[in-house]
Every structure is written in structure tokens, then in C-alpha cells.
Amino acid sequence: MTLRGHAALVNTLGLPASAQWYAALDDIAQLPALLANPSVTNLPLTVLGEGSNVVLRAELPGLVLRPQMRGMRIVEWRGSQALIECQAGESWDALVQWSLKQGLAGLENLSLIPGSVGAAPVQNIGAYGVELADRFDSLIACSLQNGKPRSFSPQECAFAYRDSFFKSVEPGAWMISSVRLLLDRDLAPVLGYADLASRYQALPDEQRNATGLRELVCSLRRSKLPDPALLPNAGSFFKNPVVPAEQYTSLQLRYPDLAAYPQADGSYKLAAGWLIERAGWKGKRVGNVGMHAQQALVLVNYAEATGAEVLAFADLVRQSVAEMFDVVLEQEPIILP
């Protein structure tokens, strides 16, 4: 592990950013000594994985730590379920592919989500009716005070829609070092997403398996979501807002084709992409940024945008959605610094 000064930070939104100090960790055992180093003790610390869910505004003060610990293994079998463990530095999609190769099902709906395994619990990644929380067993995170490891149960992680303990209760206090998930030998396909269900049912018998489902998820994602390598973005830029039933009903009267999903507690989750499209932002570009033409919820960087430009544009979108629907959109990616 080496400390580098003024290191450029990779991020899928393609924003210009750097870290005052930067260190990649290959071995979590190096963390306590690093944190005890007198030149590091008083620096602000930021943990950053592959930079797929952040808006970077400028040079990050202090030390940016990049977990690069590798490894995936089956810890044990519990009947028809396997407990697997993955180190934080692996790419999420590499884990999905590995699990399918082991003959394990459960992660196929989460195929192709950019980012690292260590970042996945922070925002409780989700897609096509499955969230990380559904497959989660436990994780190990190290305190950024002293590097000491601690195990977190699902309850302690406080998972919610695109949210967790690490995102909103104690942000910046922990480095997730490994994650354990519980997967199935036999596929129980999650087909609540209508488009996925119809495509899956249409597959020939021999492809109706976890790998077949992954292929469908990959092609659905590729048809809607821009590849960050070609058109920089951070996936959905806003969360789908949840509103009380009364507000949903009054909106639905004004907009009969409002896209919304009833929640267990009687509230409604509105499709932010629909709100943004209706407010006229789909495919609209202002300067270097815009909302994607195929998926209005994805903010894209067309050229050399800065973090400030991205946030100013997001504010315009947020304001016009608020004026039109009286719904305030909450940003999904984390803003740093």
C-alpha cells in the first residue's frame, strides 16, 4: 500500500476530481497501522469504491481509501442454501457471474449493476424486484477511528429503499471489508417486473434458469440504461418518491396515467422517471448535462461537466417537478465533499 498525493479519482459520471491523499488497500490487515500513522491521524477519511454512485465536486480533502481486497468463496452449505462471502474490492457484477458459475441463484436480477461489492450495502442496491437486503446475511466493517472490525447483522444495517445505516446513520464512519450473502441452489425466479416476466415466460425451456434470467436482465438494462463507459452517468439520479395515499389519489385524478406502485403500508411509490419525463426533461440537455433520452431518471454527462454543473442541473429538474406535482425528488448518489 502506498500513499499518493493529488490522485485523480475515477467516477462513472466522469467528473474531474482528485484526492488530497489516496491509498488503495489490498489487505484489510493494513488498516489499523495506516490509521495509527501520525500523518494520517487527523485527516478526514473517505472510502470510495468504483465511484459509480457519487457526485464529486472538487478535490477531496484528507485521505481517500479504496478497498481493493479480493476473494469470493462458499463458506458453508445450509441445506439447499449456500452462505457465500465476498471481499469488498470485487466488482459487484463479477460476484453475480461467479455465483451463477457456482450454480447459485438469487443475484440474477441484480446483474450488471456498476460498482464494488463493498459499496453495494451502502445504498442497498436493487433492481427488478430484488434488493441486496433480500439476500443479505451479514457484513464485516472496520471502524475508521481505529480500524477494528465489527460484524453487522441485517437489522444493524438498517436497510431501506436505497438506504442503510452506512449511508444515513453513520456516513463516513466505517469501511465495509466483506459481505456475506445467502443464495439458493434452486432458482425461485423473481418476476414481479412485468417486462422481465413476459420475456422469461417466452424463453425456451432449457433457458429458463438463473443464467437465462441474467441474460434478460442484462439486455433490459442495456436497452434503457446508458453504459457509463460510453455516456458517463451514475444510474438513477433520484429515488422514486414515496407519497401518502391521499396525495397519490389527487395526483392520479389530474394525471390518470401516473406511474405508481402501492406499498405495503398504504403509501405509493411514484416513478420519478415518469414525473421527470412529464415535466419535459427527458432527453433535454443544458450545457454539458442532460436527462437521458431512453430513461429520464438517468442524468448523463455529455462532455466535460463539473460536479457543480451536475448539481445545478439536478436542481432545475427537482424544482420543475416540485412545481408541477408538489413532489420533492431526493437525490440518490452521494455528494462529495
Does residue 240 touch ligand EPU according to CB under 6 A? yes
Among 9-17, 34-42, 138-146, 289-297, the segment contacting ligand EPU (CB under 6 A): 289-297
Q: Least distance (Å) from ligand EPU to the CB of residue 236? A: 3
Q: Which of 63, 277, 279, 290 binds ligand EPU (CB under 6 A)?
A: 277
Active site residue 162: yes
State yes or no: is 246 an active-site residue: no
Grid cell, residue 19, equals: 484526492
Alpha-carbon distances, residue 149 vs 92, 110, 173, 286 (angstroms)? 22, 27, 12, 45
Question: CB 291 → ligand EPU: shortest distance, Å?
Answer: 8
Contact call for residue 274 and ligand EPU (CB under 6 A): yes
Distance, in Å, from the CA atom of 269 to the CA atom of 248, rounded to the nearest integer, reads 9
Cell of 66: 479504496
Nearest to 193 by CA among 271, 93, 265: 271
**Residue 307 interacts with ligand EPU (CB under 6 A): yes or no:** no
Structural contact between residues 49 and 87, judged by C-beta atoms closer than 8 angstroms: no
Count of residues in contact with ligand EPU, rule CB under 6 A: 18
Q: Does 50 bind ligand EPU (CB under 6 A)?
A: no
Classify each residue of 114-138 as buried b or exposed e, where b means 16 or more C-beta atoms within 10 Å of its C-beta: bbbbbbbbbbbbbbbebbbbbbbbb
Complex with ligand EPU: residue 142 or 210, whichever CB lies closer: 210
Q: Which three cell numbers stand for residue 260?
A: 405508481
* 236 catalytic residue (yes or no): yes
Residues 282, 300, 301, 310: which binds ligand EPU (CB under 6 A)? 282
Subset of residues 209 to 238 that bind ligand EPU, contact rule: CB under 6 A: 224-225, 235-236
Q: Which of 52, 236, 277, 278 does the annotation list as catalytic?
A: 236
β-bridge mates for residue 182, sequence order: 83
Q: Rule CB under 6 A: is residue 268 a binding residue for ligand EPU? A: no
Handedness of CA 117, 121, 125, 128 (dihedral sign): positive
Q: Is 85 in the site for ligand EPU (CB under 6 A)?
A: no
Positions in 146-175 near ligand EPU (CB under 6 A) = none
**Residues 180-189, buried b or exposed e (16+ Cβ, 10 A)?**
bbbbbeebeb
Catalytic residue among 66, 135, 162, 318: 162
Residues 308-337 that bind ligand EPU (CB under 6 A): 332
* Adjacency order of strands within the sheet including 233-236: 233-236, 298-301, 289-291, 285-286
Please identify every residue annotated as catalytic: 162, 236, 332
Residues lying near ligand EPU in the complex (CB under 6 A): 127-128, 224-225, 235-236, 239-240, 259, 271, 273-274, 277, 282, 295-297, 332
